[in-house]
Amino acid sequence: MPGPVFPGSASVLGMRAVILALLVVCLQAKPPAFVDQLPPAARAEALDILNRADFVFETQTQPKHVRLATMEKLFDHPRLSAAMWRHCQFVPAFYAFIHPDGAWSIDDARGLRGTLRLVYQRPGHRVYLVEGVAEKGRLKTPFAVGAKMLTSYRYWEGKNGFETHLQTWTALDSALLGVMARPFRGYIKGRQDEFIAYINGNVATFGEFADLSPRDFHAPLKRDGDAIALRDFETLFLRK
């Protein structure tokens, strides 16, 4: 037999449910704490992306037996990282370019490119603002896809090795693009999530290779022909 129902109890329960739902929405809408630490211009860009985000992504890598110091060398030298990526024959074969303002770009020479700006850095945490484009057909869509991305990259050495936690918020370049992409949104999000997780895991993997046997990279980097990447490698890994 059901228990007694007191007058007003249903409305009280309903009000509690409404309050709980509002709290959940507010918590979801609250910007991540690191945004308050960004420089004013970068903070404004980050908030714009968060307010317009079409896709939100989060992943964590499995532990890798690589030192945190080794990974930071790779983070700080993107041309070297790209050259080592190519040597490992990961696809696509990225090329990296450093800009005078410290930003850097990656390009796969097949219609996928992006520019990254490091806007916040603390031990174990880096935040990037990214502008990217995939040319028509590169993501199997009948139009080019341009986007801005806020990326939070945390990393640490745990008891089982080097681990990372990646969060991204992606806003398509225009409302019109958002409308055009609507039928493809699930596919684009799936491809983006898959691609980010793939890159994140592979960077940790070749960091592990570099830590275990750095000299195995020396001859291939010479053949690759990127003088800046070769110089960085010799300075960071061979000159003890």
Q: In what order do the strands lie in the sheet with 112-122?
A: 55-60, 161-172, 145-158, 125-134, 112-122, 104-107, 95-98
- CATH assignment of the domain containing 202: 3.30.530.20
The answer as to whether 185 is a domain residue is yes
The answer as to whether 10 is a domain residue is no
Backbone angles phi, psi at 171, to 5 degrees: -120, 125
Whether a cis peptide bond, with omega within 30° of 0, leads into 31 is no
The answer as to whether 37 is a domain residue is no
The pLDDT assigned to 239 comes to 75
Residue type, 123: P
The answer as to whether 91 is a domain residue is yes
* Domain range enclosing 121: 43-238
Model confidence at 122, pLDDT cuts 50, 70, 90, reads very high
Q: Which residues make Cβ contacts (< 8 Å) with residue 139, sequence separation at least 6?
A: 145, 187, 188, 191
The answer as to whether 7 is a domain residue is no
The pLDDT assigned to 130 comes to 96
Average pLDDT over residues 160-164: 88
The answer as to whether 6 is a domain residue is no
pLDDT tens digits, one per residue of 80-99: 999 988 888 888 888 999 99
Residue 149 DSSP SS3? strand
CA-nearest of 166, 203, 196 to 60 is 166
Strand segments, DSSP code E, in 110-216 are: 112-122, 125-134, 145-158, 161-172
The answer as to whether 201 is a domain residue is yes
Q: For residues 199 and 203, what is the distance between their CA atoms, to the nearest angstrom?
A: 6
The answer as to whether 25 is a domain residue is no
**Strand 145-158 with 95-98, pairing:** unpaired
Number of structural domains found in the chain: 1
Mean pLDDT of the chain: 82
Q: For residues 38 and 35, what is the distance between their CA atoms, to the nearest angstrom?
A: 5
Confidence check: pLDDT of 29 > 80: no
- Cα diameter, the chain: 82
CA-nearest of 240, 191, 210, 196 to 61 is 196
The pTM of this model reads 0.78
pLDDT tens digits, one per residue of 166-183: 899 989 886 555 565 566
Residue with tokens 């860009």: 45
